[in-house]
Amino acid sequence: MEYGEMVLLRTFFKEKPREFIVCVSEDAFHSDFGIIELEELTRLSSGDKICSHKGQEFIVQKPRMPDMFRHAQRSGAPMMPKDIGMVIAYTGICKNDVVLDAGTGSGILSMYLGSIAKKVVTYEVKENFAQLARSNISKAGLDNVEVRCGNIVEEISKIEEKFDVVTLDTINSPEVIPMVRRVLVPGGFVVTYSPFIEQTIAIRKALDASGPWDVTTIECIERPLSVSERGTRPATGGVGHTGYITIARV
């Protein structure tokens, strides 16, 4: 591990996992499990173990995107992994793609996309949200995600780049759709995310008016299973409705 690198420290307490993300430095990390001198991480590799001064053992690992999702700072409710997975699966985003994103928020979607795509350009209207997203993206070790502060409704007509995929997680999506074709490559996708039926209807109407598009709208419901000695059954809790995803292809 190198100075400035983010590291995931994982341990188990009473048979339950506990984890922390730290930055390799000359500082000391304090938790209820004791103190760890972070400089010691420079002599370790992923998979090695380190102990706190209380003797609590931690596994050293490199954080992946699900870890960053759990530990990233929040500026609001981010898109959930189940929905991000649908975006990636239905568009087939790959390492050669360039993606335009709008409604950056905490930068969660941008980080997931940046871990796959060649480049991501994301627009956020609020400067404080943009700064927070830049911080999260930097901690994730991504240098291919560019955060621009601006209103996508006003900025899209000025954009000269072409994109393979455009993702819109903003209340202004219906206003952006009529202008999105000019920045899409042939065969490209535009994906919108909305928590409400009314906005989804407005999005579909905007697509119909600017078509033709190959369009589908989906909702992903996640239901975990509860496993115990008594048996296995759907858990009573879990992530229900989060949003409607509309995927349209030129």
d(CA 92, CA 45): 33
| One domain for residues 35 and 154 | no
Q: What is the pLDDT of residue 237?
A: 75
Q: What is the pLDDT of residue 223?
A: 87
Q: Is the pLDDT confidence value at 239 over 90?
A: no
Give me the domain span that covers residue 11. Answer: 6-63
**65 Cα distance to chain centroid:** 7
Note whether residue 17 is domain-resident.
yes
Cβ neighbourhood burial of 59 (10 Å; 0-12, 13-18, 19+)? middle
| One domain for residues 58 and 77 | no
The whole-number average pLDDT for the span 139-164 is: 96
Q: Per residue in 94-138, pLDDT tens? A: 999 999 999 999 999 999 999 999 999 999 999 999 999 999 999
Q: Per residue in 58-75, pLDDT tens? A: 999 999 999 999 999 999
The CATH code of the domain that includes 178 is 3.40.50.150
d(CA 174, CA 199): 8
| One domain for residues 34 and 19 | yes
Binding residues: 106-109, 124, 169
Among 32, 63, 94, identify where a domain stops: 63
* Count of domains for the chain: 2
| One domain for residues 120 and 242 | yes
| One domain for residues 73 and 107 | yes
Note whether residue 1 is domain-resident.
no
Q: Where are the alpha helices (DSSP H) in the chain?
A: 65-71, 81-91, 108-114, 127-139, 152-155, 173-180, 197-209
DSSP 162: -
Among 20, 38, 63, identify where a domain stops: 63
Binding residues for S-adenosyl-L-methionine: 106-109, 124, 169
Q: What is the pLDDT of residue 41?
A: 97
Q: Is the pLDDT confidence value at 220 over 80?
A: yes
